[in-house]
Amino acid sequence: MELREMGERASKAKYVLQRLTEQEKNEALLAVAGALEQGCEEILAANREDIRLGEEAGMHPGLLDRLRLTGERVESMALGLRQVAELPDPVGECMESWERPNGLRIEKRRVPLGVIGIIYESRPNVTADAFGLCFKAGNAVILKGGKDALRSNIAITQVIRRTLSGCGITPDAVCLITDTDRQVTNAFMRMKEYVDVLIPRGGAGLIRAVVENSTVPVIETGTGNCHIYVDKDADLDMAVSIIMNAKTQRIGVCNACESLVVHEAVREEFLPRLKKALDEKQVEIRGDERVRACIDCVPASEEDYGTEYLDYILSMKTVDSLEEAIAHINRYNTKHSESILTRDPARAQKFLNEVDAACVYVNASTRFTDGFEFGFGAEIGISTQKLHARGPMGLRELTSYKYQVYGTGQIRG
Amino acid sequence: MELREMGERASKAKYVLQRLTEQEKNEALLAVAGALEQGCEEILAANREDIRLGEEAGMHPGLLDRLRLTGERVESMALGLRQVAELPDPVGECMESWERPNGLRIEKRRVPLGVIGIIYESRPNVTADAFGLCFKAGNAVILKGGKDALRSNIAITQVIRRTLSGCGITPDAVCLITDTDRQVTNAFMRMKEYVDVLIPRGGAGLIRAVVENSTVPVIETGTGNCHIYVDKDADLDMAVSIIMNAKTQRIGVCNACESLVVHEAVREEFLPRLKKALDEKQVEIRGDERVRACIDCVPASEEDYGTEYLDYILSMKTVDSLEEAIAHINRYNTKHSESILTRDPARAQKFLNEVDAACVYVNASTRFTDGFEFGFGAEIGISTQKLHARGPMGLRELTSYKYQVYGTGQIRG
């Protein structure tokens, strides 16, 4: 399908999708879940071809792992759709209503965004996940996946489109761009007349390219240079447990801790204890001079403080005050997730108020920044911008609103 | 001040502004209002110089009028700031809170956006208005006004900055870009590290240029190709009154009616009555064939249906059904404001649900799409996009949110 035609079809589909009832949407989601399971062999065959081409091209084993589908992974796509079917439908919700002195009644109602564009990299499960969330929120979605996963994405999309048709719903609820030419991707980012929002999902390079080139409004997701600040009256046992969790429970994720900020008053007591635990997991430490005065580690550079390692590395910075900790974090963070460990509620509140990030924690791991952990039941990504949605994005964050105004002949004086 | 330095100063100021109490902000707003009145002569002198240069350059009388300040107009800027001081402070509001099974308590709190960039054209009153709204919502603002109004804008900004300093508040709460080089404006649109959102206020050309060039998230405002649809069972007296109001009460505004859609069943009865009223105000009608069959008017082209006239011109289109009316409007509108006139609540609701626009009305004039008319007490513009804010934007729409999460040592399993 040509790109412009795809835009037109998706735009047409959005008017159909916004009218679907919750039940119609849930039935379709369950049907697609079943069809993915039934079509598992077809999907795995396509994926094997992607894997074979990736291996031939000398693809990195980590990327090959992201690309690889198994029966279990297809099963988990189906499960994801069944979970989305169980979530309440956000569309139509009356967010507020009021009456004006002239008798006009104004209702602010949640509506779908319309057409959502998703640009993503090598994980083919995003194809099904993104469809499920966009569809439940009443949106059409145009997907542009990675070149490496093209055959897998085509197979998954075909199953979804076929099943939607079988349910009497337009298959254009999900469209996949199969042309891998970069020019086509660039044109997609400029289809303002058809696409209401673009959500890039992937590494920093992909996100930067979308922000640079898009004229469609973008929601930036993903990069997380997250800090944990150990305050002067922190519970130090709790601090070791939280930092170990945030740094090592899963290293390659955006809500992992990348940098530790420690108050001078606890530095000498705390750092040797923490280092023992970090050593057990072979975490490399990069510290400032005062850190290096009490534990053996690599010197930290300015660049370290600005780096999202996604690896077994932790930078460390010593501060003399809460204010200095807040200033350091606001300077180097990516506005994702930051945590203070302290027993003092007033100091905690100051940190929560003044640190500029989507999610700010007291006495908890940054790893909780996640749609499921927040109780949203799903997640399309973590927004690191301030416009529209911030932090974990669930179904509601895939909607807009409109004002419905009821009059009895009012004119403006 | 150099652009980058200005960005740094505004970024620093935002951390101060987010901590101000409601009272501190209100006192500063009232002080600025008083200072504008006291500095009126200084402002008018600068404005006279702008006007003189405009006249020399052969500026259009309409633009000169927009540019011209008078004692009354300065007074109304001061009044605007006093009104903003009376509005409730949106910052810090707890929008939602809940507890997770693991004991984490999550609070979603309203916070300022941070640094807002405003790019606008020749009305110097925007300088004071935009400052007032951004400031009350806890934001720093960087202003880029039109070249024609440079001296007026400098004078107004100086009064504001001086007064803020006198109140002990950083004057960098408001910064004005005085370099009129287009390169500087383009660089401003790409200052992602300093500016959280860009709001262009002005004509379609300005808005397009910002959308094309900006890497900072943009809120599009302004263009309104608004329709009124007269359904088959409309109250025709009410219809004449509403259409006359929406078309002629003020022609140069984005919520004025530009196009009429009329149901075939009332065409012959209604149009001659409407034409009589439109003739009295010398409104030119451009109609399709069926319109022309019952009233004397100019033929409408495809282009007419897509045009925001901002003039005494009204296009007219005949339809055979509500569905056709909805499809026509969704094809040609700019997602601003649309109204159906009907006595049938079910047909009204269908229109309200299916027409894609920020504000949809039944039996009322489109002219009500306005922050004051909606009861927001102020307005920075009318958003025509779906991301973040839609329709009239007041103080709340100049905020974002953050999640503050209270733990007792929780780690992720």
Q: Look over chain B and give the mean of its residue pLDDT values, rounded to a whole number.
A: 96
| pLDDT higher than 80, residue B405 | yes
User: How far is the C-alpha of B34 from the C-alpha of B32, rounded, in Å?
Assistant: 5
Cα R_g (chain B), whole angstroms: 24
Interface test with A, best of B236, B388, B397 (most A CBs within 10 A): B388
Whole-angstrom Cα distance, residue A393 to residue A389? 7
Is B413 within a domain?
no
Please report, rounded to a whole number, the percentage of residues in chain A having pLDDT higher than 70. 100
User: Helix axis angle, A22-38 relative to A150-166, nearest 10°?
Assistant: 130
Instruction: Note whether B411 contacts A364, CB cutoff 8 Å.
Output: yes
Indicate which of A350, A388, A398 best probes the interface with B, i.e. most B CBs within 10 Å of its own CB: A388
Pick from B352, B357, B410: CB nearest A364? B410
Span A70-85, pLDDT tens digits? 999 999 999 999 999 9
Q: What is the pTM of this model?
A: 0.94
- Whether the CB-CB separation of A219 and A118 falls below 8 Å is answered with no
Give B306: exposed, middle or buried? Use CB within 10 Å, 0-12, 13-18, 19+.
middle
Q: Same domain, yes or no, for B154 and B249?
A: no
Residues B30 and B131 in one domain: yes
What is the pLDDT, as a whole number, of residue B202?
84
Contact B224, B337 (CB under 8 A): yes
Instruction: Answer whether residue A122 shows pLDDT above 80.
Output: no
> Does B63 score more than 90 pLDDT?
no
Predicted confidence (pLDDT) at residue A199 exceeds the cutoff of 90: yes
Report yes or no on A161 lying in a domain: yes
Of A330, A363, A409, the CB nearest to B409: A363
Domain assignment present for residue B411? The answer is: no
Quick check: B390 and A402 CB within 8 A?
yes
Task: Calculate mean pLDDT across residues B349-359.
Answer: 97
Structure tokens at A313: 């590395």
Two tokens at B255? 């919520």
pLDDT in tens, A88-98: 999 999 999 99
Find the CB nearest A368 among B357, B368, B410. Answer: B410
Are the C-beta atoms of B119 and B198 separated by less than 8 Å?
Answer: yes
C-alpha distance from B348 to closest chain A C-alpha (Å): 9
Question: ipTM of this model?
Answer: 0.94
Nearest beta carbon to residue B364 from set A359, A369, A407: A407
Q: Answer yes or no: is A411 within a domain.
A: no
Using a CB-CB distance cutoff of 8 angstroms, which residues of chain A are in contact with residue B364?
104, 405-411
> How confident is residue B167, by pLDDT bands cut at 50, 70 and 90?
very high
Between chain A and chain B, how many beta carbons pairs sit less than 8 Å apart?
Answer: 191
A13 phi/psi in degrees, rounded to 5:
-60, -35
Asked if residue A379 lies in contact with residue A392, where contact means CB atoms within 8 angstroms, the answer is yes
Cα B309 vs. chain centroid, distance in angstroms?
A: 18
| CATH number, residue A340 | 3.40.309.10
Segment B341-349 shows an average pLDDT of 98
Domain shared by A285 and A331, yes or no: yes
Task: Please state, in angstroms and rounded to a whole number, the distance separating the CA atoms of residues B194 and B10.
Answer: 8
Phi/psi at B219 (nearest 5 deg)? -105, 115
Answer yes or no: is pLDDT of A145 > 90: yes
How many angstroms separate the Cα of B271 from the Cα of each of A110, A354, B288, B297? 36, 61, 12, 11
Residue B385 and residue A357: Cβ atoms within 8 Å?
no
A378 — pLDDT class (breaks 50, 70, 90): confident
In-domain check, residue B208: yes
Q: Which token pair is A344? A: 């003092």
Residue B402 has pLDDT above 80, yes or no: yes
Local confidence band at A214 (pLDDT 50, 70, 90 cut-offs): very high
Same domain for B199 and B63: yes
pLDDT band at A341 (very low <50, low <70, confident <90, very high): very high
- Range of the structural domain that residue B137 is part of: 3-220+388-406
Which residues of chain B does A8 touch, with a Cβ-Cβ cutoff of 8 Å? none
The predicted structure's pLDDT at residue A223: 87
Query: Average pLDDT of A305-309?
Result: 94
- pLDDT at residue A1, as a whole number: 73
Q: Are residues B176 and B263 in the same domain?
A: no
B257 and B301 within one domain:
yes
The CATH number given to whatever domain includes residue B392 is 3.40.605.10
Q: What pLDDT shows up at residue A241?
A: 98
B390 vs A contacts (CB less than 8 Å): 400-403
Residues A221-257 have pLDDT tens digits of 878 999 999 999 999 999 999 999 999 999 988 999 9
Predicted confidence at residue A270, as pLDDT, reads 98
Residue A381: inside a domain: no
Q: How far is B119 from chain A (nearest CA, A)?
A: 17
Strands B359-364 and B337-341 turn out to be: parallel
Q: How confident is residue A389, by pLDDT bands cut at 50, 70 and 90?
A: very high
Same domain, A141 and A195: yes
Which residues of chain A lie closer than 8 angstroms to B18, CB-CB? 353-354
Enumerate residues 6+ apart whose C-beta is below 8 A from A279: none
Are B161 and B259 in the same domain? Answer: no
Minimum distance, in Å, between the CA of residue B253 and any CA atom of chain A: 13
Query: Which chain A residue has the Cα nearest residue B327?
Result: A15
pLDDT of residue B378: 85
Residues from chain A that touch B335, judged by Cβ atoms under 8 A, are: none
Q: What are the Cα distances from residue B389, in Å, to A197, B280, B383, B385?
A: 13, 38, 6, 7
Residue B1 has pLDDT above 80, yes or no: no
A69 occurs within a structural domain: yes
> Are A173 and A287 contained in the same domain?
no
**CA pair distance B97, A222, nearest whole angstrom:** 24
B259-306 tens-digit pLDDT: 999 999 999 999 999 999 999 999 999 999 999 999 999 999 999 999
Please tell me the distance from the alpha carbon of residue A413 to that of residue B372, in angstroms, as a whole number. 13
A40-55: per-residue pLDDT in tens? 999 999 999 999 999 9
Three-class secondary structure assignment of chain B: CCHHHHHHHHHHHHHHHCCCCHHHHHHHHHHHHHHHHHCHHHHHHHHHHHHHHHHHCCCCHHHHHHHCCCHHHHHHHHHHHHHHHHCCCCCCCEEEEEECCCCCEEEEEEEECCEEEEEECCCCHHHHHHHHHHHHCCCEEEEECCHHHHHHHHHHHHHHHHHHHHCCCCHHHEEECCCCCHHHHHHHCCCCCCCCEEEEECCHHHHHHHHHHCCCCECCECCCCEEEEECCCCCHHHHHHHHHHHHHCCCCCCCCEEEEEEEHHHHHHHHHHHHHHHHHCCCEEEECHHHHHHCCCEECCHHHHCCCCCCCEEEEEEECCHHHHHHHHHHHCCCCEEEEECCCHHHHHHHHHHCCCCEEEEEECHHHCCCCCCCCCCCCEEECCCCCCCEEECCHHHEEEEEEEEEEEECCC
A407·B241 Cβ contact <8 A: no
Number of domains in chain B: 2
Say yes or no for a CB contact (<8 Å) between B15 and A367.
Answer: no
* Cα separation, B377 vs B136, whole angstroms: 12
Residue-level length of chain A: 413
Examine the domain organization and report whether B246 and B153 are in the same domain.
no
Q: How far is A48 from chain B (nearest CA, A)?
A: 33
Picking from B375, B407, B412, the nearest residue to A249 by CB comes out as B412
Candidate from B15, B219, B386 with C-beta closest to A196: B386
Test the B interface: residue of A97, A186, A387, A390 with most B CBs within 10 Å: A387
CA distance A382 to A391: 5
User: What is the band of A409 on the pLDDT scale with cuts at 50, 70, 90?
Assistant: very high
pLDDT at B326: 98
**Same domain (yes/no): B214, B297:** no
Q: How far apart are CA B205 and CA A307, in angstroms?
A: 40
**Best residue in B190, B229, B387 for a mutation probing chain A (most A CBs within 10 Å):** B387
- In this structure, are B63 and B190 located in the same domain? yes
pLDDT on residue A90: 97
Residue A127: what residue type? T
In a domain, A412, yes or no: no
Measured CA angle at A260 (ends A254, A263), to 5 deg: 150
Report whether pLDDT(B239) > 80.
yes
CB-CB neighbors (< 8 A) of A196 in chain B: 385-387
Region B74-84: what's the mean pLDDT? 96
Long-range contacts of A130-133 (CB under 8 A, 24+ apart): A130/A201, A130/A380, A131/A32, A131/A157, A131/A160, A131/A173, A131/A174, A132/A29, A132/A32, A132/A80, A132/A81, A132/A84, A132/A378, A133/A84, A133/A378, A133/A380, A133/A394, A133/A395, A133/A398
The pLDDT value given to residue A63: 87
pLDDT of residue B205 exceeding 90: no
- Span of A83-87, A393-397, B181-185, B313-317 with lowest mean pLDDT: B181-185
| In the predicted structure, residue B122 carries a pLDDT above the cut 80 | no
Of all residues in chain A, the one with the smallest CA distance to B208 is A215
Closest alpha carbon within chain B to A102: B373
